[in-house]
Amino acid sequence: EAGVAQSPRYKIIEKRQSVAFWCNPISGHATLYWYQQILGQGPKLLIQFQNNGVVDDSQLPKDRFSAERLKGVDSTLKIQPAKLEDSAVYLCASSLRPQRSYNSPLHFGNGTRLTVT
């Protein structure tokens, strides 16, 4: 099966600019997650979708970050305006069903490496 697709792979922007990341999950996966991974750290959940509904966005900095999942398939994550501390790898993951309820493993994309200067 095709994996989780993310684009772009790399992005360099100046602070206060805006940026958008795109994710296409594995076909049929109802649950989609966006994680932020700062260098040397483990990933941290930003937002979780179940189909096209938001399940958890408690750790999403809503003053600057937004995300949507179109028709329950593709998803975009946007940052506006970006800050220096947003420099990180943004990982998209999907699972067939919610990870906890069905012990369904997460499948990750290769991520987008964002550098804010």
Partner 1 sequence: KQEVTQIPAALSVPEGENLVLNCSFTDSAIYNLQWFRQDPGKGLTSLLLIQSSQREQTSGRLNASLDKSSGRSTLYIAASQPGDSATYLCAVNPYGGSQGNLIFGKGTKLSVKP
φ, ψ of residue 84 in degrees (nearest 5): -55, -40
Residues 6+ apart with CB under 8 A from 6: 21, 22, 23, 24, 90, 91, 92, 109, 110, 111, 112
For partner 1, the closer CB: 81 or 96: 96
Parallel/antiparallel/unpaired status of strands 88-95 and 75-79? unpaired
Single residue of 25, 29, 36, 48 touching partner 1 by CB under 8 A: 48
Q: Should residue 27 be labelled a site residue for partner 1 when binding is judged by CB under 8 A?
A: no
For partner 1, the closer CB: 10 or 14: 10
CB 112 within 8 A of CB 22: no
Q: Should residue 55 be labelled a site residue for partner 1 when binding is judged by CB under 8 A?
A: yes
Q: Which stretch binds partner 1 (CB under 8 A): 13-21, 61-69, 77-85, 97-105?
A: 97-105
Residues 6+ apart with CB under 8 A from 71: 52
Minimum CB separation from partner 1 for residue 37, in Å? 8
Residues that bind partner 1 (CB under 8 A): 4, 6, 31, 33, 40-45, 48, 50, 55-56, 58-59, 91, 93, 95, 98-101, 103, 105-111, 113
